[in-house]
Amino acid sequence: MKSKRTRLDRFISTQAGINRKDVKPLLARGRIMVDGTVARDIQQVIHQFTHVIMDEQVLQAHTPYYFMMNKPQGVVSATNDRQHPTVIELMKNQDRIDLHIAGRLDFNSSGLLLLTNDGRWSRNLFTPESKVPKRYRVTVEKPLTEDYIRAFAKGMYFDYEGIITRPVKLDIVSEFIAEVSLVEGRYHQIKRMFGRFRNPVLKLHRVSVGSLLLDPTLKPGYYRALSELELKKLGANYQQAHTCFK
């Protein structure tokens, strides 16, 4: 993937069509503003959402967008699909631009889904190294026992990947319902872990990502922008969040 980060002098040279050596005098005269402040350092890093102005002309003013959706079953976590409806198609046209899905959910899974155009933010949330817990409510076909708690906490060997899963916290809610919290996102991980007990998963619903809870007022298929408080709790680096509701 092409990097969206560059030095200020390279950025100005490309956007304004001038030689890089001519950028430094512009800085000395205070003619370049970066995020509302007069820029002085030609090596300052410019990223996708840095606001840059030269001589009162806006060179870049991209806005980061952060949405939560209550994903329904039977919808694909993808931007396009030839066979099935996608989560992007559930959104208004003006909200779809350049969005990608952060932490996909399976076709038959439901619950909290995040959509954004900020790749750094989504990677920070969903890489195993970040250790951000994702919590799911799982309904299974056969009764649960204490053996599940111990086995999930110990981790399981996945032959296909050649790895042992990181410890997973499992709480038994009722005879057939458990809450599962994990920091990884291996392929069909939860279903495969219950599969070791030959216990099919009937429903899989994501209820939270880190401190962010699925808004209980959101009906399946509906979405909204994350609030300023929610973004701060998740550690988002943002300028402003889109506020359009479905």
State the catalytic residues: 106
**Burial of residue 56 (number of CB atoms within 10 Å: 0-12, 13-18, 19+):** exposed
Cα separation of 77 and 135, whole Å?
A: 18
Query: Which H or E run contains 231?
Result: helix 228-233
Query: Which H or E run contains 223?
Result: strand 223-225
- Residues in CB range of 147: below 8 A, 6 or more apart: 197
Cα separation of 150 and 135, whole Å?
A: 18
CB 132, CB 123: distance < 8 Å: no
68: β partners: 114, 224
CB 100, CB 79: distance < 8 Å: yes
As a residue count, the chain comes to 246
**Burial of residue 157 (number of CB atoms within 10 Å: 0-12, 13-18, 19+):** exposed
